[in-house]
Amino acid sequence: MKKNFKNIAFASIVFGSLIFTSCHSAGHSDAHSHGAEATEDAHNHNEATEGMAVLSQVQRKAIDLEVGAMPYRTMKGVVKTSGQLEVSPNNKAEVTAYVGGNVVSIKAFQGDKVKKGQVLAVLEHPDIIQLQQDFIEKCNDLKYLEKDYNRQKELYQQEVGSGKKYQKAEADYQTAKAQYQGLKLRLEMLKLNTKSIEKGNIVHQLNIISPISGYVSGINISLGTYIDARTKMFSIRNFENIHADLSVYEKDISKVAKGQKVRLRVANLPNTELKGTVFAIAKEYTPNSRSVVVHASIDNPPKKLIADSYVSGEILTESDKVRAVPEAAIVNDGDKHFIFVFDEKGSLAANHDEDDHNHAADNHQHDDGETHAHAADTHQHGEGEDHDHDHDHAADEHQHDDTDDHQHDNGEDHAHATDSHQHGEGEDHDHNHDHAVGEAHDHDMEGIYQSLAKDKIAYRMVEVITGEVDGGYVEITAVDPLSDHELIVLHGAYYLLSDLKKSEAAHQH
């Protein structure tokens, strides 16, 4: 009898071990199945965000990311042109002397700023003295002839004097007067004081003065040099009204008109873009190049501009609204240009991936807890069997069966209900969210973006072709169709590209 009880006890232990092994294997199998499903979902979500930059709210705030609707901007059509800087005829002068003389002093140097009337050089020559002497003689002759003319006129009117003498006196007087006026003008052209010379004050030097204010751009004399009236002594340029003479080819001249704005660049100011306006267009072609000269004024010209300098630029001929983004929105990858665009599906996938990861961690902790608890119960049960008698063992077995069946049934039902409840809520939530997003996609992309403000957001790269640049904005054309409802990254695109490169490098390793 005692032997039978031992056999029954042994059988019970074996049976209990089989049940434990079966339950543990089933639980482990279920956990593995759930883990495989989570891994597969995560893989699908990773594929959904592949090639995208995914940033959290903290990351977006750290780089001051700015996102907005696709901007449209008025960009100008342009005509490319080149030419040189010029000074208008009224603002340049070639200084010469009206009489010959030797240079005894030079008062200005190349590059000096001079004022109108300022002395540039001093000449000496006997001809200068002779000219003053001739003027003094004519002045004295004129005074005598004027008195003789008035006397003969009075006699003739009284019929005392002859008409012949009166006519001769009148002729001599008018001749002397003309000669006097001629000499006086010559002296005044030399900037000599004729009133002082009439009093006998003769000067032996002649000052050469600047006819305009400006800068000395050329000097063609040296001390002791004899110059005549044809010699160019100095070149003076006033750069305050400098302008550009631009060459426009025949095919483009019809697009150009007075009043159009221009953008200009010169070599000695490489970082400065000059603004100006077309004020005159020539009416004939340049024979060799078949181009037309277009004159453009320069707004607030810098003092460092030099006449005859090469200039290049554009004439802004028309205005059209086109897609244009800030320069900070464009990144380069190789020889291609890209912008970043908010990706709705990628953002949802990135956030679902994080939720699945958290759910898998919870399942792992739950499975481990159940396994350890079940093992502890089995261990305690085994120890109890070694000390109990057959009656106690039968009672324990009965109690164990009732309790296990009750707990197992209740546990399975509760777990199944919970899973069904969670699954149902998840399906309804995902379905409703996707449906809501789909409806809002065509109406309020900004609203969708704001709804994800606290979550991860994905941005995809879109290749673009760049065009004209104006005021810090770049005209773009998307290689593939791009809706006007898309939200693009306006500031911070460089950081997105850097983050994407790091992610790709980590994925490869």
452 three-class SS: coil
pLDDT digits (tens, 9 = 90+) for 122-162: 999 999 999 999 999 999 999 999 999 999 988 888 888 78
- Cα of 32 vs its chain's centroid, Å: 56
Give the pLDDT score at 355: 57
Which one, of 320, 313, 157, 297, lies nearest residue 241 by Cα? 297
| Tokens at 271, concatenated | 């970082």
SS3 for 475-487 is: EEEECCCCCCCCE
Q: Is the pTM of this model over 0.85?
A: no
Q: What share of the chain is helix, strand, coil (3-state, %, to 5)?
A: 50, 30, 25
Q: Which two tokens stand for residue 68?
A: 């907005």
Q: What digits encode the pLDDT tens for the residues 344-384?
A: 888 888 887 655 555 555 555 545 544 444 444 444 444 44
Check if the beta carbon of residue 274 is closer than 8 Å to that of residue 266: yes
Among 207-221, 421-435, 481-495, the range scoring the smallest mean pLDDT is 421-435
Fold adopted by 97-236 = OB fold (Dihydrolipoamide Acetyltransferase, E2P) (2.40.50)
Cβ contact 149:161 at 8 Å: no
Selection from 246, 217, 256, 247 nearest residue 233 by Cα = 217
d(CA 237, CA 239) in angstroms, rounded, equals 6
Instruction: Say whether pLDDT at 438 is over 70.
Output: no
Same fold across 79-88+242-318 and 97-236: no
Greater model confidence, 209 or 31:
209
pLDDT of residue 455: 84
Q: Read off the pLDDT of each residue in 288-309 and give the average, rounded to a whole number.
A: 89
Mean pLDDT of the chain: 77
What pLDDT sits at residue 272? 87
CATH architecture label of 79-88+242-318 = Beta Barrel (2.40)
User: pLDDT digits over 178-213, tens only?
Assistant: 999 999 999 998 889 999 999 999 999 999 999 999
pLDDT of 387 strictly over 90: no
Q: What is the DSSP letter of 208?
A: E
In this predicted model, which residue has the larger pLDDT, 266 or 364? 266
Q: What is the pLDDT of residue 102?
A: 95
The answer, yes or no, to whether residue 390 has pLDDT greater than 60, is no
Distance from the first to the final alpha carbon of the chain: 69
Domain boundaries, the chain: 2-76+338-508, 79-88+242-318, 97-236
Asked if 478 and 462 touch (Cβ cutoff 8 Å), the reply is yes
Closest listed residue to residue 487, CA positions, set 329, 372, 367, 373: 329
Question: Tens digit of pLDDT for each residue in 44-85?
Answer: 556 677 888 899 889 998 999 999 998 887 676 788 899 999
420 or 443, which is more confident: 443
